[in-house]
Amino acid sequence: MMCFLKLTMFLFFFLVVVHTHSRVLVKEHIDIGLVNDKNSLVSFMSCIISDPENTLTSWKSNVVHVCDWSGVKCNNASNNRRIIELDLSGRSLTGTISPSLANLSLLQILDLSRNHLTGHIPRELGYLLHLQEPSLSWNFLQRNIPLEFGSLHNMYYLDLGSNQLEGEIPPSLLCNGTSLSYIDLSNNSLVGKIPLNNDKCVLKELKFLLLWSNKLVGQVPLALSNSTKLKWLDLESNMLSGELPSKIICNFPQLQYLYLSYNNFVSHDGNTNLEPFFASLMNSSNFQELELAGNGLGGKLPRIIGNLPSGMQHLHLQENLIHGAIPPQISSLVNLTLLKLSSNRINGTIPQSLCKIVRLERIYLSNNYLSGEIPSTLGDIKHLGLLDLSKNRLSGSIPDSFSKLPQLRRLLLYDNKLSGTIPPSLGKCVNLEILDLSHNMITGKIPSEVAALSSLKLYLNLSNNELQGPLPLELTKMDMVLAIDVSMNNLSGRIPPQIKNCVALEYLNLSGNSLEGPLPYSVGQLPYIQSLDVSSNQLNGPIPESLQLCSYLKTLNFSFNKFSGNVSNKGAFSSLTAESFLGNYNLCGPFKGMKQCHRKNSYHLVLLLVPMLLFGTPMICMCRNSMIIKSKVRKKQRAVSDGCDAEDEEKDETKELGYPRISYRQLREATGGFSGSSLIGSGRFGRVYKGVLLDNTRVAVKVLDTTTTTKDDEISWSFRRECRILKKIRHRNLIRIIMICSKKELKAIVLPLMPNGSLERNLYDPNNELSKKLSVIQMIKICSDVAEGMCYLHHCSPVKVVHCDLKPSNILLDDDFTALVSDFGISRLLKGDNGVNSACNSISFSSTHGLLCGSVGYIAPEYGMGKHASTEGDVYSYGVTLLEIVTGRRPTDVLIHEGSSLHDWVKRQYTQPHKLESIVEQALQRFSLSCVSSHRNKIWEDVMLELIELGLLCTQQNPSTRPTMLDVAQEMGRLKDHINNFSRETKI
């Protein structure tokens, strides 16, 4: 019995020891796994050169547990805790990706997107067999996609877009990844074919395939047809060829977006038959957008186009070889908002039935062979905001029914065979911004109702017609128009001196008419005039000296008139030649080929001065005594009334802002009496003057003009709006008020004077010495500053704000070229913290205040259709600004000369490598970077390409596909840090 008890106790103690030892081993095993994970992250950290946001600070602490490190997430298992997620996206990290991340053997999510990472993608990442979501997009990664990624069988999300990856797409990546649902390899330099070349490559779960902007060739692989859940297919801007993939598309019942533009596709039956392709889309009941532009597709538009899914919204077929008539059946697409058929070979008439597409907002039918009359039924499309029928063979008169289009913003009918007169009813199109009726056979006078369209914001072009009569005085009330062209008509009479009221005018062409009388001195008072052509008229008298003072003036043509007198070669005339003055036989001046002026004798001037001195002195003394007496009376009156006393509401505004008030007299003294020499800008509601206060503070005084023809309530609304917004925001990249003056007859905002002017001045003013000092590093810093300021307005401000008018002239630069966003006169306050949608729903873009809600060229396309102000609209404006900086072209110039938006123009260049290279090279020359080493030059070229690509993303037609300003600010910050690091390393 005793032996049994001893044996039992021995066994008991043995089991206790074994159990305890096993627990120690298990614990050690668990600790070893997490310790290895920690060591892997420490090794990753050692490859990071820069961490501007101090993301990895917690990683250096011995107190913080590894599972609590920034961006790290562990599983919840109690017996095997390991790292399963590493998210360091948008942290501006600079360096390389360490292969040691492969030791995180249970990692499921890896997100290093939107950083400055360089080097290559480590092939060791392909050993993370549990990895489900690798995202490395928006970095500077190079070389090939690792073949080992084909071993990631659990991967369903892959995003390597917007890098500098080269080589072919590994076949194993697509053929072994049966669970892949999302693939984004876009915006790289990948070559070769899409590697889905056999039946074994089946991606049954695939919903998104984004391969746009690469160098892929060959046909769309037939094996893609097995991906029956596909919703989004974007192959745009590659070099793909072959017939349109009809047999593949018909297998995608859930397809919503299909982008095949700018490739080398052809239609069926030798590029003659489009019907099979359109038939392949009929089963996709949720289909919304189709883009086939720029392929050279042949054939006619088939009748079955009307059988496409009724929910379709966008149809892009421009820049192809499509011929034949527009089938009336297209009117069955009742939800279509955008129709682009321009630059094809379409003939016949415009279908009357287009009016059934009641949601249409934009119609592009330009550059075709359309004939017949313009259907009056187009006036029934109430949402129509843009109608482009230019460069066709249309005849007949302009329909009166256009006056029924309340949202019409742009009417382009040039280069046709239209006749009759201009309908006065067009004056009812109160939102019209562009009217181009040039190169037709239109007769009669310019209707005063049309000339009174003060809503025109870009240009009025009536040139090359048969118009008669004088220039209507109402024309001088267009205070927002940038260009007026009435050349090559039969206009007569005088040029009205009130033309100076067109304060935004940049281009004025009056040539080829029968205008007479003198050229008004006031023409030289147009503050932004760049081009003036008055040639081939009957103008006489001297050429106004005021034109010499126009700092922006580049082109002048006075030829074939009856001008007389002396011509100077100073100021804006210094770059002219005698060719600008041909046919004016009574002119003389210093230009080669022009007759020289003879100096007049001055003895008769002396004879005139003698009696003036004898008899004039007593008169001057008498007047002086009278003026002294009157001056004393005025001083007493000013002592009583000089303060900026405001009405009750304005007093509350001033008090609420908490800024000191300043008298009208002080403002006059600071600006030299608001003299022309102090003027630094002007606009619809007033002018901006520079000045110096008594304490030597340099200021910009924004004076609102209450004497204009604009309604006073508009001015008061704009003034209060800007004060209210500037009061609520605080950010280093947003302008701040110094003080305000608010009284019934004077409303002024006093702001700090930015010593380096505006971004616009630095980009374009040839007389601005500062423009020569800007470097690409400064430009990137400026773009980053603006993004930070806008990000604050959208995401961080106590009251969310939509700016509504972001552009270079509203971006000011302080003494160290820090950018500050200014001019909040038409901004929108967005109340509430639930985002912008609810607030914006109550504010229509077509405001009853009649304010200029944005500037032409920078306005988002959805604004032009009467949509609500939104943060997406600001993103669009920012994107246009980026494209403008890189290309050096104003969006309005592109619109006038190219007939397209800056986005569309850049996108066309982007698809043609030699043209894109030309844009980049010109940008490098402007920033004095064309003579650096080839290695450095490659870096700067990549920077320019990054800006172009970000600009194109921000200016996409669909607002929902644009990034947020938070995304943009992170991307610009990433690019700025990358450039700064590169500059330090290379000592630039």
Report the distance separating Cα 441 and Cα 418, nearest Å: 6
Task: Find the mean pLDDT for residues 778-802.
Answer: 86
Confidence of residue 848 (pLDDT cuts 50, 70, 90): very low
Same domain, 838 and 981: yes
In CATH, what number is assigned to the domain containing residue 94? 3.80.10.10
- 944 located within any domain: yes
Neighbouring residues of 848: CB distance < 8 A, sequence distance ≥ 6: none
Neighbouring residues of 613: CB distance < 8 A, sequence distance ≥ 6: none
Task: Find the mean pLDDT for residues 510-532.
Answer: 91
- Does 94 have pLDDT greater than 70? yes
Same domain, 883 and 959: yes
Q: Hunting for tokens 């500098």 — which residue is that?
A: 164
Strands 698-704 and 746-752, bridge-based pairing = antiparallel
Q: pLDDT tens, 315-342?
A: 999 999 999 999 999 999 999 999 999 9
- Does 866 have pLDDT greater than 70? no
**How confident is the model at residue 986, as a pLDDT?**
60
**How confident is the model at residue 614, as a pLDDT?**
45
**How confident is the model at residue 766, as a pLDDT?**
57
Task: Find the mean pLDDT for residues 904-911.
Answer: 82
**How confident is the model at residue 543, as a pLDDT?**
92
The winner for highest mean pLDDT among 547-551, 664-668, 840-844, 903-907 is 903-907
- Is the CB of residue 480 less than 8 Å from the CB of residue 853? no
Report the distance separating Cα 305 and Cα 812, nearest Å: 50
**How confident is the model at residue 424, as a pLDDT?**
93
Cα torsion through 721, 724, 727, 732, rounded to 10: -30
- Does 255 have pLDDT greater than 90? yes
Same domain, 701 and 788: no
Q: Hunting for tokens 């032009």 — which residue is that?
A: 864
Same domain, 802 and 736: no
**How confident is the model at residue 640, as a pLDDT?**
33
- Does 618 have pLDDT greater than 70? no
Lowest mean pLDDT among 189-193, 611-615, 848-852: 848-852
Neighbouring residues of 952: CB distance < 8 A, sequence distance ≥ 6: 879, 883, 903, 906, 907, 910
- 854 located within any domain: yes
Best CA proximity match to 156, nearest among 93, 205, 190: 205
**How confident is the model at residue 742, as a pLDDT?**
65
DSSP string, 846-881: S-TT----S-TTTS-TTGGGTPPP-HHHHHHHHHHH
- Is the CB of residue 408 less than 8 Å from the CB of residue 385? yes
Of 721 and 489, the structure prediction assigns the larger pLDDT to 489
**How confident is the model at residue 883, as a pLDDT?**
92
Q: pLDDT tens, 7-52?
A: 455 555 545 444 444 443 444 444 677 888 899 999 999 999 888 7
Of 838 and 501, the structure prediction assigns the larger pLDDT to 501
Which of 753, 772, 799 is the C-terminal boundary of a domain? 753
How does DSSP classify residue 919?
Answer: H
**How confident is the model at residue 828, as a pLDDT?**
59
- 741 located within any domain: yes
Lowest mean pLDDT among 310-314, 362-366, 426-430, 981-985: 981-985
Of 604 and 552, the structure prediction assigns the larger pLDDT to 552
Task: Find the mean pLDDT for residues 932-953.
Answer: 76
Lowest mean pLDDT among 18-27, 213-222, 408-417, 861-870: 18-27
**How confident is the model at residue 633, as a pLDDT?**
39
**How confident is the model at residue 944, as a pLDDT?**
86
- 850 located within any domain: yes
- 300 located within any domain: no
Q: pLDDT tens, 563-613?
A: 999 988 888 888 888 888 999 989 998 888 788 887 654 444 444 444 444
Run of H or E residues at 467: strand 466-470
CA 846 to each of CA 14, 407, 716, 850: distance values in angstroms, whole numbers, following the listed order: 87, 9, 18, 7
Token pair, residue 749, equals: 């905002």
Confidence of residue 980 (pLDDT cuts 50, 70, 90): confident
Same domain, 801 and 825: yes
- Is the CB of residue 750 less than 8 Å from the CB of residue 700? yes
Q: How many separate domains does the chain show? A: 3
- 984 located within any domain: yes
- Is the CB of residue 318 less than 8 Å from the CB of residue 297? no
Catalytic pick among 436, 805, 893, 967: 805
Of 890 and 669, the structure prediction assigns the larger pLDDT to 890
Is 702 one of the annotated binding-site residues? yes
In CATH, what number is assigned to the domain containing residue 671? 3.30.200.20
- Does 168 have pLDDT greater than 90? yes
- Does 467 have pLDDT greater than 90? yes
Which of 734, 753, 772 is the C-terminal boundary of a domain? 753
Which of 691, 722, 753 is the C-terminal boundary of a domain? 753
- 746 located within any domain: yes
**How confident is the model at residue 936, as a pLDDT?**
57
**How confident is the model at residue 469, as a pLDDT?**
95
- Does 234 have pLDDT greater than 60? yes
Report the distance separating Cα 376 and Cα 387, nearest Å: 13
Q: pLDDT tens, 724-747?
A: 665 666 788 888 777 766 666 667
Backbone φ and ψ for 784, nearest 5 degrees, come out as -70, -40
Is there a catalytic annotation at residue 874?
no
Report the distance separating Cα 507 and Cα 481, nearest Å: 9
Neighbouring residues of 246: CB distance < 8 A, sequence distance ≥ 6: 268, 276, 277, 279, 280
In CATH, what number is assigned to the domain containing residue 974? 1.10.510.10
Best CA proximity match to 265, nearest among 196, 319, 324, 206: 319
Same domain, 671 and 790: no
Report the distance separating Cα 76 and Cα 78, nearest Å: 6
Best CA proximity match to 423, nearest among 411, 431, 433, 415: 411
Radius of gyration of the chain (CA): 34
Token pair, residue 187, equals: 């915006």
- Does 638 have pLDDT greater than 80? no
Q: pLDDT tens, 797-834?
A: 767 788 888 889 889 888 888 999 887 655 555 544 33
- Does 105 have pLDDT greater than 60? yes
**How confident is the model at residue 846, as a pLDDT?**
31
**How confident is the model at residue 840, as a pLDDT?**
32
**How confident is the model at residue 485, as a pLDDT?**
94
Same domain, 671 and 723: yes
Same domain, 977 and 832: yes
Question: Rounded mean pLDDT of the chain?
Answer: 81
Q: pLDDT tens, 403-427?
A: 999 889 899 999 999 999 999 999 8
Lowest mean pLDDT among 168-177, 277-286, 466-475: 168-177
**How confident is the model at residue 371, as a pLDDT?**
96
Task: Find the mean pLDDT for residues 836-847.
Answer: 31
Q: Which residues pair with 217 in a beta bridge?
A: 239
Best CA proximity match to 105, nearest among 82, 89, 74: 82
Report the distance separating Cα 265 and Cα 729, nearest Å: 52
**How confident is the model at residue 988, as a pLDDT?**
52
> Burial code of 433-455, b = ≥16 C-beta within 10 A, e = fewer?
bbbbbbbbebeebbbebbbbbbb
**How confident is the model at residue 722, as a pLDDT?**
56
Q: Hunting for tokens 């200021």 — which residue is that?
A: 699
Report the distance separating Cα 392 and Cα 368, nearest Å: 5
Confidence of residue 838 (pLDDT cuts 50, 70, 90): very low
Q: Is 366 exposed, middle or buried (0-12, 13-18, 19+ CB in 10 A)?
A: buried
CA 837 to each of CA 802, 842, 868, 962: distance values in angstroms, whole numbers, following the listed order: 11, 9, 9, 15
Confidence of residue 62 (pLDDT cuts 50, 70, 90): confident
Same domain, 709 and 794: no
Report the distance separating Cα 804 and Cα 863, nearest Å: 10
**How confident is the model at residue 787, as a pLDDT?**
93
Token pair, residue 323, equals: 């011929």
Domain interval for residue 740: 643-753
- 511 located within any domain: no
Percent of the chain with pLDDT over 90: 42
Same domain, 810 and 734: no
Task: Find the mean pLDDT for residues 124-141.
Answer: 93
Same domain, 677 and 768: no
- Does 276 have pLDDT greater than 90? yes
Lowest mean pLDDT among 72-86, 209-223, 838-852: 838-852
Same domain, 715 and 805: no
- Does 942 have pLDDT greater than 70? yes
Listed in order, strand segments (DSSP E) in 189-246 are 191-192, 208-210, 215-218, 232-234, 239-243
Confidence of residue 307 (pLDDT cuts 50, 70, 90): very high
